[in-house]
């Protein structure tokens, strides 16, 4: 019995245990495992079949890994080419934004918080001199990323063209002209564009015409408000001049996907001008909705206008670079690592007043007191 047990262990049980071990090694990815197949009995046939199977699996795995490496390298090369193009597009988009020298020409202080959701942005801002002062604008175009960036190039060119033709004295008329030209440029009034080829694009725009010599600012907005922070007491007071509740562009009969009012029927309705007397210590800000709509906090709610107004009120007396830092820090803490939902732009500025306007404003303020 002992001799029979030893023979059974050597001839059957040991090869089966070895076969089980090799099968486990293959399951772990060790495809080079092989079993001695010098026998002609059933165990030899089983070992030979196992070796052929292992060789086939190893060959297929090697071929698959080679193909995966090739595809991965091809995808990496394609991704590098795409990112190179997008990064170059960012340089082109940055070229349409005003330089620091242009911003400083008529502004005592300024800051721009510009955070594209992707590399390129669907937001842009403008500051340019005109005959009797200068113009400041903030725009939020449809989409973000590459589609939004294409829209910024189109909208910026149209806005500058309208300012060249009409001037900046009537911001409401400028918005109406941009509205017509955007719809015409994108052929959004053509019914033939129905079905799958139909698209609906436009922008929100806030526009300020500033006349430092006259001590006057005129604002008109298409769904972008102007915030005016005036010094007073420990904190400042924040006044919001709301823009009209309609965007520029978009098809006349379309509703915006976010629930905005339809532009049909009121496409020719004028926008509203708001006039503000310039006084020392005022801070003006325009923002796209990406800032107040950013979700965060413990409950994932939006940043909100109230939170923004509180920050601006507390920073009424501080330099604008410090105010920008405070807003950024508050946004980062609130966002708490969450993904940015939309492009964010906040443009803040203080106007450089002439001596006559500054003295006049101070004197009228004293008489009023």
What does the pLDDT look like over 239-262, one tens digit per residue?
A: 999 999 999 998 765 444 444 444
pLDDT (tens digit per residue) in 186-218 = 887 665 455 445 568 899 999 999 999 999 999
What is the pTM assigned to this prediction? 0.77
Average pLDDT in the chain:
83
Q: Which is nearest to 162 in space by CA: 185, 132, 187, 190?
A: 185
Return the pLDDT at 369: 29
Q: Give the sign of the dihedral formed by CA 249, CA 295, CA 320, CA 361.
A: positive
At 360, is the pLDDT very low, low, confident or very high (cuts 50, 70, 90)?
low
Return the pLDDT at 250: 86
Percent of the chain with pLDDT strictly greater than 70: 79
CA angle at residue 20 from 17 to 22, to 5 degrees? 110
pLDDT (tens digit per residue) in 47-105 = 777 777 777 877 788 788 888 888 899 999 999 999 899 999 999 999 889 988 888 88
For 316-332, what is the mean pLDDT? Answer: 94
Structure letter (DSSP) for residue 244: B
Q: Copy the structure tokens of residue 94.
A: 């940055």
Please tell me the distance from the alpha carbon of residue 219 to that of residue 225, in angstroms, as a whole number.
Answer: 9
Return the exposure string of 13-45: e unless at least 16 CB atoms fall within 10 Å of the residue's CB, then b.
eebeebeeebeeebeeeebebebebeeeeebee
**Stretch among 181-195, 294-308, 323-337 having the lowest mean pLDDT:** 181-195
Return the pLDDT at 186: 87
Stronger pLDDT, 262 or 278, i.e. the higher one: 278
């Amino acid at each position: 019995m002992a001799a029979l047990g030893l023979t059974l262990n050597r001839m059957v049980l040991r090869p089966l245990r070895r076969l089980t071990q090799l099968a486990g090694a293959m399951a772990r990815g060790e495809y080079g495992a092989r079993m001695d197949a010098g026998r002609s009995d059933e165990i030899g046939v089983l070992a030979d079949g196992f070796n052929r199977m292992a060789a086939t699996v190893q060959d297929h795995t090697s071929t698959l890994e080679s193909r995966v490496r090739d595809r991965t390298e091809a995808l990496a090369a394609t991704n590098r080419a795409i990112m190179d193009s997008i990064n170059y597009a960012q340089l082109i988009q940055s070229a349409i934004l005003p330089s620091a020298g242009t911003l400083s020409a008529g502004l005592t202080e300024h800051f721009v918080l510009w955070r594209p959701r992707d590399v390129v942005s669907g937001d842009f801002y403008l500051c340019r001199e005109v005959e009797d002062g200068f113009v400041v604008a903030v725009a939020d175009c449809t989409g973000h990323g590459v589609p939004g960036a294409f829209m910024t190039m189109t909208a910026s060119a149209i806005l500058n063209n309208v300012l060249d033709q009409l001037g900046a004295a009537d911001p409401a008329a400028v918005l109406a002209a941009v509205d017509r030209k955007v719809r015409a440029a994108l052929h959004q009034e053509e019914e033939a564009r129905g079905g799958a080829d139909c698209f609906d694009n436009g922008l929100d725009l806030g526009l300020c015409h500033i006349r430092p010599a006259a001590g006057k600012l005129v604002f008109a907005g298409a769904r972008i408000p102007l915030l005016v922070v005036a010094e007073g007491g420990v904190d400042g007071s924040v006044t919001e001049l709301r823009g009209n509740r309609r965007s520029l562009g978009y098809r006349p009969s379309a509703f915006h996907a976010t629930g905005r009012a339809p532009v049909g029927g009121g496409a020719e309705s004028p926008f509203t001008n708001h006039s503000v007397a310039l006084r020392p210590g005022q801070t003006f800000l325009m923002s796209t909705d990406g800032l107040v709509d950013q979700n965060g906090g413990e409950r994932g709610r939006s940043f909100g206008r109230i939170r923004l107004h509180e920050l601006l009120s507390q920073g009424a007396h501080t330099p604008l670079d410090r105010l920008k830092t405070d807003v950024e820090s508050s946004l980062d803490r609130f966002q708490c690592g969450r993904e940015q939902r939309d492009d964010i732009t906040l443009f803040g500025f203080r106007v450089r007043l002439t001596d006559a306007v500054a003295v006049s404003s101070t004197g009228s303020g004293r008489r009023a007191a």
